[in-house]
Amino acid sequence: MCPLVVLGQENTDLQLRMVPSVSYKFTKKWGVAVAYRYDIYKDLQEFKSSMFQGEIRYDLSKKFRLETGYRFRTSYTEDQHRIYGGLRYDQEIITGLKIFLATKYQFSTGSFDKEYMAIYDRPNHVLREDLSFEYTIPQTKLSLSVGTEFFIKQDNTTKEWELNRIRSSFGIDNKFKYGNTVGIGIFYDDKTNPRKEDRIVLVTKYNLSIDDMIKKIRKERLKKEEKK
């Protein structure tokens, strides 16, 4: 519904993100993930930026997970470094329906040079509070997700924390054999700045879970050995 409401508004840009990623859980608690992102903007007409990200994950329990990582984003005009960390919670409410809560802090700057950070309006400090739901359709590998995320940014002048934007999202993911997951989604950023530079972003995703792939291969190997 969000695109139908905002497409007619001025200064609402239609963008596209393509995100391939690989994840690997090498112990019961520790895991890593790497991702690349290619962004197009100005109503899908121009290249915006590329992004490389690495993340470390640690499961405190079956419901809580710590995440921390580094992101490097580059474009024709500027580069950006981001360091972030957060806590994620997920719980199955009823069969097939999960709730996700996440809080994240991120620190972004164009350079770690002290003189650069003193002159330009960097670094940026942002808190992100996310609430989302995921429903897996019975007897399928297809899941639907919907969520809302609040971005709370620290003003570089007053040092006060203010609401920067609200993100509403919807997505569809499908799991395939050997740890492959393909997804497509859309989100709408409702910004609070006076210029109202809102955006609608289409997202295509692909993830390869190495540990899930290894488990599947092992299961198939055991079945073949049992049949002999």
Can you list the domains of the chain with their CATH numbers?
2-227 (2.40.160.40)
> Is the distance from CB of 91 to CB of 62 less than 8 angstroms?
no
Residue 3, pLDDT score = 46
DSSP 57-103: EEESSSSEEEEEEEEEEE-SS-EEEEEEEEEEEEEEEETTEEEEEEE
Going by the DSSP 8-state scheme, the letter that residue 179 receives in this structure is G
For residue 31, give Cα distances in angstroms to 24, 44, 88, 173: 6, 34, 14, 21
Residue 67, pLDDT score = 98
CA 115 vs. chain centroid, Å, equals: 31
Q: Side chain identity at 129, as an amino acid letter?
A: E
- In angstroms, the CA 30 to CA 27 distance is 5
pLDDT tens-digit series, residues 88-147: 999 999 999 999 999 999 999 988 887 777 777 667 899 999 999 999 999 999 999 999
Residue 159, pLDDT score = 85
Q: Closest Cα partner for 19 from 185, 203, 219?
A: 203
Residue 10, pLDDT score = 60
Q: Closest Cα partner for 50 from 40, 58, 62?
A: 40
Residue 81, pLDDT score = 95
Instruction: Write out residues in the chain with pLDDT < 70, as ranges.
Output: 1-10, 121-122, 228
Q: What is the pTM of this model?
A: 0.89
